[in-house]
C-alpha cells in the first residue's frame, strides 16, 4: 500500500509537470514567476484586477472592477505579463491626483507621466534577482512603442 501511495504521488507530480509543459516551457514559467513576485505588492494593493494561476490555463489577468468591465486574458509570455502590468501602472500614473501635467484628450504621455511611470516600474523591476536588466530594456521599448502608437491617436 505504501508503494501505491508513492506511485500515486509520483504520478501526480508527473501530471503537474505535464500541465506546465503544455502551457509553458519550464524557462517561461520561471520568468513569469519572477515577474509576478516582483510585482506582487503592487498587484495585491489593487482592487480592480488580479493575476491568477491555473494548472489548465496558465496565468490569467482578471479584471474585476467595475463588474461591467470584468474579463479575463491568458498571459502566454513574460512580455504579455509585462505589457499588462506596465499598462496598469501607466494608467495609475496618468490618473494620479499628483499628475498636474496631463493634457485632456491626449493619449501620449507627458514628460512627467513618462518619468514617473519609468520611476515606478524601474523600482519594481530592480527587485528582480538579476537586477531586471532584460526587463528594463523591455520597459524602454514598451514606452517608446506606447508613445509612437498613441501619437497617431493624438493627431
Instruction: Note down pLDDT in tens along the chain; length 155 residues.
Output: 444 445 545 555 555 554 454 689 999 999 999 999 999 999 999 999 999 999 889 999 999 877 777 789 999 999 999 999 999 999 999 999 999 888 887 889 999 999 999 999 999 999 998 878 899 999 999 999 999 988 877 66
| All structural domains of the chain with their residue ranges | 2-154
- Report the distance separating Cα 97 and Cα 85, nearest Å: 20
Beta-carbon contacts of 60 under 8 Å, excluding residues fewer than 6 positions away, are 51, 52, 53, 54, 72, 73, 74, 75
- Report the distance separating Cα 137 and Cα 86, nearest Å: 13
How many CA atoms does the CB half-sphere of 12 hold within 13 Å?
A: 6
Amino acid at each position: 500500500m505504501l508503494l501505491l501511495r508513492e506511485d500515486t504521488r509520483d504520478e501526480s507530480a508527473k501530471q503537474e509537470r505535464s500541465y506546465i509543459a503544455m502551457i509553458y516551457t519550464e524557462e517561461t514559467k520561471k520568468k513569469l514567476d519572477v515577474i509576478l513576485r516582483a510585482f506582487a505588492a503592487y498587484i495585491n494593493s489593487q482592487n480592480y484586477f488580479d493575476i491568477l494561476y491555473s494548472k489548465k490555463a496558465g496565468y490569467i489577468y482578471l479584471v474585476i472592477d467595475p463588474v461591467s468591465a470584468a474579463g479575463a486574458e491568458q498571459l502566454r509570455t513574460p512580455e504579455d505579463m509585462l505589457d499588462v502590468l506596465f499598462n496598469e501602472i501607466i494608467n495609475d500614473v496618468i490618473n494620479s491626483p499628483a499628475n498636474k501635467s496631463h493634457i485632456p484628450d491626449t493619449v501620449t504621455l507627458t514628460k512627467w507621466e513618462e518619468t514617473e511611470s519609468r520611476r515606478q516600474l524601474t523600482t519594481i523591476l530592480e527587485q528582480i534577482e538579476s537586477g531586471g536588466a532584460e526587463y528594463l530594456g523591455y520597459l524602454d521599448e514598451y514606452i517608446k512603442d506606447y508613445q509612437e502608437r498613441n501619437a497617431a491617436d493624438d493627431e
